């Protein structure tokens, strides 16, 4: 059988990892695929940059858009990134030309996956994206293949290693968010502009993809409720610990009679839960199916080796002749989802207020919570300091999130409340 010839657009950390795997495991890959996998074209912004590996054996293409005109090229590997611009154009044109595409581009798939999947199906080629979600964890394959016999009830987990590292360090060292973020940047875990990571956007792109694949619906990033971790304080982490919880940034997508709930936000999870034990830069994804029950996948969510491994896994599938629908079902079967409004989600919550320590304040807070039918489960106040700001912490029984928002807004207008109240969802996973 003829060799499968690939072109790699983007030679950053992941792209170089792909080159290393294909060159070092050439014989192994041929045995597993029944044919050779050959790199026949490469492209990046700079040809002169030292990438720590000899790239001279490969044909350099000055403009990656020219990949579509290389007749012998079977697969285009897009590792440029971004939901628009060159990345989108390259993927779209490659599919239109009848070339398979493998991408690690979560933003592209979250925003344009349906459009691109339709082109791939029409042209009879594959659009694969294992590396776009959770790095080296094969969660796309798990849902699409291993759990394919199940109706999926929910998918949830830790989808961003940067946030998990920051929250882990904050808990273990007692330091504040901004201090730990600087460490994460120095270690290469966070970008110079960390907004996409710490504000939950990166995890939300991944969750939108998982929603589409899990429930056979068109991914809709705009319907996601997103909150990041920048407002989580060392005090919140300390109080969570006293209550028996850890704080994790979770992506959650669930199917119910009301529709599909999808959100990314910090959550308190029980200390003794499996997901609470996943620390540092690791990711973890639960898949809940009707026959298989719950399955947990844990591993590195980013980095050269893990992410490149997922890219090559998709290339191997193509070399073996596998051609599956991009989102698990044919495009005509993908539904427009009924999305649950974030305000209609029902959950328990952690509340922390900074108030002036004087009589009547707690009664005023409790009265507002009662007004919105929000029941308090537990209460913490450490010490007394009359006339000075103190923290009070409450956890609630299940309540509608929209009602909780109204209550918190009203509580924040009490003159003795000196900070915007902190609200964190509690999930008993």
- Give catalytic residues, as residue numbers: 206
Please give the sequence-ordered ranges of beta strands (E in DSSP) within 241-388, or none if there are none: 245-256, 259-270, 282-289, 293-300, 346-356, 376-381
- Sequence-distant (6+) residues with CB within 8 A of 80 are 9, 10, 64, 86, 87, 90, 105
- Sequence-distant (6+) residues with CB within 8 A of 56 are none
303: left (phi over 0), alpha (psi -120 to 50) or beta: left
**Residue among 91, 76, 80, 120 at smallest CA distance from 314:** 76
Burial class (CB in 10 A: 0-12, 13-18, 19+), 188: exposed
**Residue among 214, 207, 215 at smallest CA distance from 264:** 207
What is the C-alpha to C-alpha distance for residues 233 and 175, in angstroms, rounded to an integer? 9
Q: What count of Cα atoms within 13 Å lies in the side-chain half-sphere of residue 259?
A: 13
43: left (phi over 0), alpha (psi -120 to 50) or beta: beta
What is the C-alpha to C-alpha distance for residues 223 and 136, in angstroms, rounded to an integer? 27
Q: What is the CA radius of gyration of the chain?
A: 24
Is beta strand 100-103 parallel, antiparallel or unpaired with respect to 75-78? parallel
Q: Are 319 and 126 in contact (CB under 8 A)?
A: no
What is the C-alpha to C-alpha distance for residues 209 and 240, in angstroms, rounded to an integer? 30
What is the C-alpha to C-alpha distance for residues 104 and 269, in angstroms, rounded to an integer? 29
Is beta strand 293-300 parallel, antiparallel or unpaired with respect to 282-289? antiparallel
What is the C-alpha to C-alpha distance for residues 109 and 128, in angstroms, rounded to an integer? 10
What is the C-alpha to C-alpha distance for residues 218 and 232, in angstroms, rounded to an integer? 32
- Sequence-distant (6+) residues with CB within 8 A of 122 are none
Q: Are 95 and 127 in contact (CB under 8 A)?
A: yes
């Amino acid at each position: 059988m003829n060799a499968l010839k690939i072109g790699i657009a983007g030679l950053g950390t992941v792209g170089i990892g792909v080159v290393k795997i294909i060159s070092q495991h050439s014989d192994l890959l041929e045995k597993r695929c029944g044919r050779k996998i050959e790199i026949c074209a490469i492209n990046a912004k700079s040809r002169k940059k030292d990438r720590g590996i000899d790239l001279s054996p490969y044909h350099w293409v000055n403009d990656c858009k020219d990949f579509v005109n290389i007749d012998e090229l079977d697969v285009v590997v897009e590792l440029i990134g971004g939901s628009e611009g060159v990345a989108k154009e390259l993927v779209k044109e490659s599919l239109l030309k009848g070339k398979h595409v493998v991408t690690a581009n979560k933003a592209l798939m979250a925003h344009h996956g349906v459009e691109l999947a339709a082109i791939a199906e029409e042209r009879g080629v594959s659009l694969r994206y294992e590396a776009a979600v959770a790095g080296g964890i094969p969660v796309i394959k798990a849902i699409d293949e291993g759990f394919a016999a199940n109706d999926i009830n929910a998918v949830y987990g830790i989808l961003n290693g940067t946030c998990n590292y920051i929250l882990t360090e904050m808990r273990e060292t007692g330091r504040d968010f901004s201090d730990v973020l600087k460490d994460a940047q120095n270690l290469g875990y966070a970008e110079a502009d960390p907004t996409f990571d710490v504000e939950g956007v990166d995890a939300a792109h991944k969750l939108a993809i998982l929603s589409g694949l899990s429930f056979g619906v068109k991914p809709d990033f705009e319907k996601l409720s997103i909150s990041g971790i920048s407002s989580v304080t060392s005090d919140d982490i300390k109080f969570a610990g006293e209550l028996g919880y850890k704080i994790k940034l979770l992506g959650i997508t669930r199917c119910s009679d009301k529709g599909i709930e999808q959100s990314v936000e910090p959550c308190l999870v029980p200390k003794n839960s499996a997901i609470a034990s996943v620390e540092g830069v690791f990711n973890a994804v639960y898949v809940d199916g009707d026959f298989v029950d719950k399955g947990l996948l844990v591993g590195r969510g980013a980095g050269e080796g893990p992410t490149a491994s997922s890219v090559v896994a998709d290339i191997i599938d193509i070399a073996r002749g596998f051609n599956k629908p991009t989102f698990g079902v044919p495009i005509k079967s993908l539904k427009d989802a009924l999305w649950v409004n974030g305000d209609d989600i029902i959950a328990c919550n952690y509340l922390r207020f900074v108030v002036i320590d004087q009589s009547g304040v707690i009664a005023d807070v409790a009265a507002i919570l009662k007004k919105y039918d929000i029941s308090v489960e537990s209460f913490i106040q450490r010490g007394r300091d009359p006339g000075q700001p103190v923290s009070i912490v409450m956890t609630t029984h299940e309540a509608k999130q929209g009602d909780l928002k109204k209550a918190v807004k009203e509580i924040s207008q009490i003159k003795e409340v000196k900070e915007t109240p902190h609200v964190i969802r509690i999930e008993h996973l």
